[in-house]
């Protein structure tokens, strides 16, 4: 699906995760499903997450972008924002996803932009707007994540071992 792009994170967030030995770009990637679907996260902060996904390979039988593919993009972006809001001591778990599909797309790239609606101590809600290459809204989505305390064993598989003592 092309070469992997580097996600842009605020430097203070990069530093916070690096101090814990966490590879932030790998941790906040699109995950296995998103990777198979070609999702690329371009920019990520608790205030705004931007990502893209190709239409090709993510269509339904009529040749239109599959609504489930839009849902994957929306949940990926909203989850990244929720995790960044929660910080290193929290795990974001999606509890509600709502998607309204406005128009069909047959080709090109769609772009999703997630912005917070609510950022609390125990939940975070993001609105995700997915647009086509002409800037027309394809889908409006809303994701709410539960922010629960991280527990032993919740360490992401992308942590790196520190050799310094």
User: Roughly how many angstroms between the first and final C-alpha of the chain, as a whole number?
Assistant: 40
Which ranges in the chain belong to alpha helices (H)?
Answer: 11-18, 24-27, 31-36, 67-86
- In sequence order, the β-bridge partners of residue 143 are 97, 126
| β-bridge partners, 53 | 110
Q: Is the dihedral of CA 39, 34, 65, 146 positive or negative?
A: negative
Buried b (16+ CB within 10 A) or exposed e, 106-122: eeeebbbbbebeebeee
* Structure tokens that stand for 137 in this block: 């809204």
Catalytic site residue 75?
yes
Catalytic residue among 3, 43, 75, 127: 75
In the block, residue with structure tokens 């039988």: 61
Known catalytic residues are: 75
């Amino acid at each position: 699906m092309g070469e992997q792009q580097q996600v842009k994170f605020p430097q203070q967030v990069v530093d916070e995760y690096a101090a814990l030995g966490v590879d932030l770009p790998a941790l906040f990637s699109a995950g296995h499903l998103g990777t198979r679907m070609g999702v690329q996260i371009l920019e990520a902060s608790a205030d705004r997450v931007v990502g893209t996904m190709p239409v090709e390979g993510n269509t339904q039988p009529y040749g239109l972008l599959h609504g489930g593919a839009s849902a994957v993009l929306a949940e990926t972006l909203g989850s990244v924002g929720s995790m960044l809001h929660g910080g290193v001591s929290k795990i974001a778990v999606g509890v509600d996803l709502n998607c309204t599909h406005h128009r069909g797309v047959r080709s090109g790239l769609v772009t999703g932009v997630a912005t917070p609606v609510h950022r609390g101590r125990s939940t975070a809600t993001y609105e995700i707007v997915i647009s086509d290459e002409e800037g027309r809204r394809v889908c409006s989505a809303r994701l709410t994540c539960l922010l629960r305390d991280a527990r032993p064993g919740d360490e992401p598989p992308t942590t790196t071992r520190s050799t310094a003592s």
